[in-house]
Chain A
């Protein structure tokens, strides 16, 4: 179960077939059932997860027991807790399979080896990081300043088909709004389009 990751490395990181095969020969993939945890907050996990198939979410639980979704990870997304994967500290987030999911386990050594094999990977990885930071900046801004509708519209641009795959409350949690508020947004949109 590495096919998507291999295709991803060829297409996005511009690695050759031979480079991809040599790099991925020692990688392992794992399957998780819907509802299974890949990581519990407070644990240390040295892996970044590449989603081959399925859907992950990373989230925190506040003192009142309420969950806050940080990120969804459908096919071809990377999901990790960086405190844990790169700084070997207890993780801030939990990671759970929202659907039956297959992931490829990537450790820091993989990133190092990839850069050694082809410097194109270093460039790719840096752009991927910049893009991720850009996304986080936008997300902070939306959470601080945007209306519920604007947050929802941004969400469906980023994750077009997730509205069919995750329950409403999880979307509301990702957007930092109440499920009632999400419901109001959708009602308004329906009113404007019918």
Chain B
């Protein structure tokens, strides 16, 4: 077994708004080193770093919009988000919870700050990932997995180092909560000051960390701080994270999908023709309806 070395530590790019409710730094695919192909199956990561939203009578967010060909995964760290989609699913996720929506053949959805959170305002911190689907599953049936605290398995690390919450994939043999179409590991490492955790994923998997809170030392050498993104080379399997103070780190690793990527706005397909078809189907109401 050999060490997975760091390729780059990337500072958060300048933020922009998605709708009026998400103030995000886009790491994947627009930051250097982080193209869709390089990071596959992770084809987008929008990170709403901790931001204080003032109280608002009208919930802020993003109105009805379509998706086809991939999954959206929203992870809440601070604040609450409400979701509704045209397949009839809805839900609210709060701190430590995850919403895993498989858009696949096509769905309309909207995402807003949850009503009560909106009224009081407060700190808001979220990650939204887009996870690509292999060609054979791009037109499968849409689905929704609301992952609450009760159904996300937690591994307690020895020596009071902290915990690993397994959203997807596995850690120390414990399986994660989410069903995935291709091998994807997605975990929150919540480490106490001085706590250390070791990870092992195949060298070919594209692997990265997002430092959600605190300062950490990776592989006993390089340090990374709040809001930075750590990209690993595809050269080894193992790495360690050590918390220099209480820290939360999102760990992501996935088997790349080696297929062509054609993308336009909210659609991610394999060919240009499939994008044209997606737009046509959306315009003609084939994604359903949502107020």
Residues of A within 8 A of B (CB): 156, 160-161, 163-165, 167, 183, 186-194
Per-position binary interface string of chain B over residues 252-291, scored 1 when its CB falls under 8 Å from any chain A CB and 0 otherwise? 0000000000001110000000001001101111111101
Question: Closest Cβ of chain A: how far from B279's Cβ, in Å?
Answer: 5
Q: Residues of A contacting B86 with CB < 8 Å? A: 190
Q: Is the interface of A mostly helix, strand, loop or mixed?
A: helix
In the bound complex, CA of A89 to CA of B123 (Å): 53
Whether B279 pairs with A186 at a CB distance below 8 angstroms is: no
Q: Considering the complex, give the chain B residue whose CB is closest to the CB of A167.
A: B63
Q: Which of A164, A188, A194 contacts B266 (CB 8 A)?
A: A164
Whether A186 pairs with B285 at a CB distance below 8 angstroms is: yes
Residues of B within 8 A of A (CB): 63, 65-66, 86, 264-266, 276, 279-280, 282-289, 291
In the bound complex, CA of A190 to CA of B108 (Å): 11
Contact flag A193-B279 (CB < 8 Å), given A161-B264, A164-B265:
no
In the bound complex, CA of A193 to CA of B282 (Å): 11
Contact flag A194-B283 (CB < 8 Å), given A161-B264, A183-B291:
no
Whether A163 pairs with B286 at a CB distance below 8 angstroms is: no
In the bound complex, CA of A170 to CA of B236 (Å): 52
Q: Which of B63, B284, B291 contacts A193 (CB 8 A)?
A: B284
Whether B285 pairs with A189 at a CB distance below 8 angstroms is: yes
Q: Considering the complex, give the chain B residue whose CB is closest to the CB of A155.
A: B283
Question: Closest Cβ of chain A: how far from B208's Cβ, in Å?
Answer: 29
Q: Residues of B contacting A160 with CB < 8 Å? A: 276, 279-280, 283
Q: Which of B63, B280, B289 contacts A190 (CB 8 A)?
A: B289
Q: Which of A161, A167, A192 contacts B285 (CB 8 A)?
A: A192
Question: Closest Cβ of chain B: how far from A119's Cβ, in Å?
Answer: 36
Whether B286 pairs with A193 at a CB distance below 8 angstroms is: yes
> What 5 A-B pairs are tightest by C-beta distance, nearest first?
A189-B285, A190-B285, A190-B289, A156-B283, A193-B286
Known contacts A163-B279, A189-B285, A190-B288; 19 further A-B pairs (Cβ under 8 A):
A156-B284, A160-B276, A160-B283, A161-B264, A163-B282, A164-B65, A164-B264, A164-B265, A164-B279, A165-B265, A186-B285, A187-B285, A189-B284, A190-B86, A190-B286, A190-B289, A191-B289, A193-B286, A194-B288
Q: Considering the complex, give the chain A residue whose CB is closest to the CB of B266.
A: A164
In the bound complex, CA of A156 to CA of B283 (Å): 7
Q: Residues of B contacting A161 with CB < 8 Å? A: 264-265, 279
Q: Considering the complex, give the chain B residue whose CB is closest to the CB of A188.
A: B285
14 A–B contacts from the bound complex (CB under 8 Å): A156-B280, A156-B283, A160-B276, A160-B283, A164-B265, A164-B279, A167-B63, A186-B285, A190-B86, A190-B285, A191-B285, A193-B284, A194-B286, A194-B288
Q: Residues of A contacting B66 with CB < 8 Å? A: 164
In the bound complex, CA of A192 to CA of B289 (Å): 11
In the bound complex, CA of A193 to CA of B266 (Å): 21
Whether A193 pairs with B264 at a CB distance below 8 angstroms is: no
Q: Residues of A contacting B283 with CB < 8 Å? A: 156, 160, 163
Q: Residues of B contacting A183 with CB < 8 Å? A: 291
Q: Residues of A contacting B266 with CB < 8 Å? A: 164
Q: Residues of B contacting A187 with CB < 8 Å? A: 285, 289
In the bound complex, CA of A161 to CA of B276 (Å): 9
In the bound complex, CA of A162 to CA of B286 (Å): 17
Question: Closest Cβ of chain A: how far from B288's Cβ, in Å?
Answer: 5
In the bound complex, CA of A164 to CA of B283 (Å): 9
Q: Considering the complex, give the chain A residue whose CB is closest to the CB of B86.
A: A190
Q: Considering the complex, give the chain A residue whose CB is closest to the CB of B267.
A: A164
Question: Closest Cβ of chain A: how far from B14's Cβ, in Å?
Answer: 14
Whether A193 pairs with B285 at a CB distance below 8 angstroms is: yes
Q: Residues of A contacting B282 with CB < 8 Å? A: 163-164
Question: Closest Cβ of chain A: how far from B204's Cβ, in Å?
Answer: 34
Question: Closest Cβ of chain B: how far from A187's Cβ, in Å?
Answer: 5
Q: Considering the complex, give the chain B residue whose CB is closest to the CB of A161.
A: B279
Question: Closest Cβ of chain A: how far from B171's Cβ, in Å?
Answer: 38
In the bound complex, CA of A190 to CA of B87 (Å): 12
In the bound complex, CA of A188 to CA of B282 (Å): 13
Question: Closest Cβ of chain A: how far from B289's Cβ, in Å?
Answer: 4
Q: Residues of A contacting B289 with CB < 8 Å? A: 186-187, 190-191
